Amino acid sequence: MVRFDDLRLRDGTPIYLQIMEHLKAGIAAGAVQDGDELPSRRTLSALLGVNPNTIQKAFRLLEEEGLISSRTGSKSCVCLSDQQTQAMQQQLPSTQTLEYIEKMRAMGLTRSQTVALIETLWKEDAP
């Protein structure tokens, strides 16, 4: 069962996007495998305190993207091919990095300054 307990909703981004991101992040991290079951819409709605329509929208879009499949009357499940998993593993870090680059640019940092910043800070946080 795909876990959503640790999903903390934030303001500013549509909820359905956050739900989709959470699933994709799970896929990229390897926590979510092909065939894993998703909680029912109602369960997820109650867990997150979010209207079922929003959950429905997220599931629908995920289905359109080919990441999950729903059968009426039963729970949806993740359906991933290896290619999809790989793509996800690459896509999510790329998206996040692009966002980060935009933010740095907005603050007036150059590429080399940003890279230098990463170098310095990453070493400090290395496990």
Residues that bind another protein (CB under 8 A): 9, 11-16, 42-43, 45-54, 57
Smallest gap, in angstroms, from Cβ of residue 68 to another protein?
20
Q: How many DSSP H helices and E strands does the chain contain?
A: 5, 2
Read off the amino acid at residue 63: E
- Our CB check for another protein shows the closer of 81 and 95 to be 95
- Our CB check for another protein shows the closer of 51 and 90 to be 51
Give the Å distances, CA to CA, from 123 to 33, 118, 126.
31, 8, 5
